Amino acid sequence: MLSSGRHSDTYLQSAVVLQWPAVAEALGRALVEPWRGRVDVVVGPALGGVVIGHEAARALGVRMVFTERMSGQMALRRSFEVRAGERALVTEDVVTTGGSALEVADRLLRAAGASVTALATIVDRTAAGTRFPVPFSALARVGADAWEPAECPICLAGSAPESPGGRRLVDRTK
């Protein structure tokens, strides 16, 4: 089960790559290259966008804030704020639907008067032909099927989904 709620037979764990600071730094530099000089703040939706967002901000020499879910919605906490007129780059590790990033862009950034320069991700695994209402860039594209739970062929065959990451973690130790 992906953090988007969709099911897939392919799971990408960015933490395995981002655990290495030198690799995370290099990915951050590469991720922001198209947006250099056009960003005042990097915003990373927790949890996937935090490490890469920090490295992207470092590469740009700008500040970084992250969002967290509160009562099911993304929010700026910890005294973070985005100001009117700021140009924001939203970062993610892996984008399947773009739901969290677009929620941040629409509900938080634009509502605060900031402009959204782009959504940048390490891996794009969106369905072919997916379009976003903001510029979108990715370092890699991975073709991986994803289904609504009711349409998942793995579940329909009798297997239960696993939640290896994201906001729908299942504690299987109990």
Answer whether residue 33 is part of any domain.
yes
Answer whether residue 112 is part of any domain.
yes
Answer whether residue 139 is part of any domain.
yes
Query: What is the percentage of the chain residues whose pLDDT exceeds 90?
Result: 59
Answer whether residue 61 is part of any domain.
yes
The pLDDT of residue 61: 98
pLDDT digits (tens, 9 = 90+) for 51-96: 999 999 999 999 999 999 999 889 899 999 999 999 999 999 999 8
Answer yes or no: is pLDDT of 6 > 50.
Answer: yes
CATH number for the domain harbouring residue 76: 3.40.50.2020
Neighbours of 67 (CB within 10 A): 27
pLDDT digits (tens, 9 = 90+) for 87-125: 999 999 999 888 889 899 988 999 999 999 999 999 998
Question: pLDDT averaged over the chain?
Answer: 89
Those residues with Cβ within 8 angstroms of residue 39's Cβ, 6 or more apart along the chain or in another chain: 32, 60, 62, 87, 88, 89, 117
Between residues 54 and 1, the one the model is more confident about: 54
Answer whether residue 166 is part of any domain.
no
Range of the domain at 68: 17-144
pLDDT-derived band at 165, boundaries 50, 70, 90: low
The pLDDT of residue 166: 54
The pTM of the full predicted model, rounded to 2 decimals, is 0.83
Answer whether residue 174 is part of any domain.
no
Those residues with Cβ within 8 angstroms of residue 104's Cβ, 6 or more apart along the chain or in another chain: 43, 45, 67, 74, 90
pLDDT-derived band at 163, boundaries 50, 70, 90: confident
Answer whether residue 38 is part of any domain.
yes
Answer whether residue 162 is part of any domain.
no
Those residues with Cβ within 8 angstroms of residue 166's Cβ, 6 or more apart along the chain or in another chain: 1, 2, 3, 4, 47, 48
Do 133 and 110 contact (CB within 8 A), yes or no?
no
Domain count, the chain: 1
Mean pLDDT of 148-167: 81
